[in-house]
Amino acid sequence: MTFDRSVKKKMTFENFLCGSYARDYIVQDTPYAAQIKEAVRRIREADYVMLGAGAGMSAAAGAEYGGSFFEENFAEFQKIYGKGPYMQDMYSAGFYPFPDEESRWGLWSHLALIAGADLDVTPLHRTLLDALKGKKLFLLSTNADHQFDKAGLPTEQIFATQGSYNLIQCQRGCHPKTYDAVERFREMELARKDGRIPTELVPKCPVCGGPMAMNLRCDNFFVEDENWHAAEDRFSRFLSECVNGKTVLLELGVGFNTPTIIRFPFEKLTREHENITLIRLSRSKAIVPASLGERAIGINADMAESISDIAAGLRETRALS
Return residues touching Zn ion (CB under 5 A): 170, 174, 205, 207-208, 210
Question: What is the nearest approach in angstroms of Zn ion to the Cβ of residue 225?
Answer: 13
Q: Are 176 and 225 in contact (CB under 8 A)?
A: yes
* Cα 37 to Cα 35: distance, rounded to the nearest angstrom: 5
**Rounded least distance, CB 176 to Zn ion, Å:** 11
**Cβ pair 211, 204 in contact under 8 A:** yes
34 vs 208, beta carbon nearer Zn ion: 208
Q: Judged by CB, which is closer to Zn ion: 84, or 210?
A: 210
Q: What is the DSSP string of 210-250?
A: -BEEEEE-SSTT----HHHHHHHHHHHHHHHHHTTS-EEEE
Residues contacting residue 94 through CB under 8 Å, at least 6 positions apart: 107, 108, 111, 214
Minimum CB separation from Zn ion for residue 170, in Å?
A: 3
Is 203 or 289 the residue whose CB approaches Zn ion more closely?
203
CB of 171 to Zn ion, least distance (A): 7
* CA nearest neighbour of 94 among 65, 72, 71, 120: 65
- Contact 278/249 with Cβ under 8 angstroms? yes
82: Cβ–Cβ under 8 A, 6 or more apart, which residues? none
* Shortest distance (Å) from residue 173 CB to Zn ion: 7
Of 174 and 312, the one with the shorter C-beta distance to Zn ion is 174
For the CB of residue 175, give the shortest distance to Zn ion in the complex, in Å: 6
Give the bridge partners for 48, in sequence order.
Answer: 136, 247
DSSP 85-144: SSTTSHHHHTTS--SSHHHHHHHHHHHHIIIIIT---HHHHHHHHHHTTTSEEEEEE---
Q: How far apart are CA 159 and CA 153, in angstroms?
A: 11
Q: What angle do CA 306, 258, 162 make, to 5 degrees?
A: 95
**Toward Zn ion, which CB reaches closer, 177 or 237?**
177
Distance in Å, CB of 210 to Zn ion, minimum: 5
Task: Please identify, using beta-carbon distances, which residue of 208 and 290 lies nearer to Zn ion.
Answer: 208
Dist CA 155 CA 158 (whole Å) = 5
If the CB atoms of residues 170 and 307 are measured against Zn ion, the closer one turns out to be 170
Phi then psi dihedrals of residue 250, to 5 deg: -105, 105
Which residue, 130 or 219, has its beta carbon nearer to Zn ion?
Answer: 219
Least Cβ distance, residue 220 to Zn ion (angstroms): 15
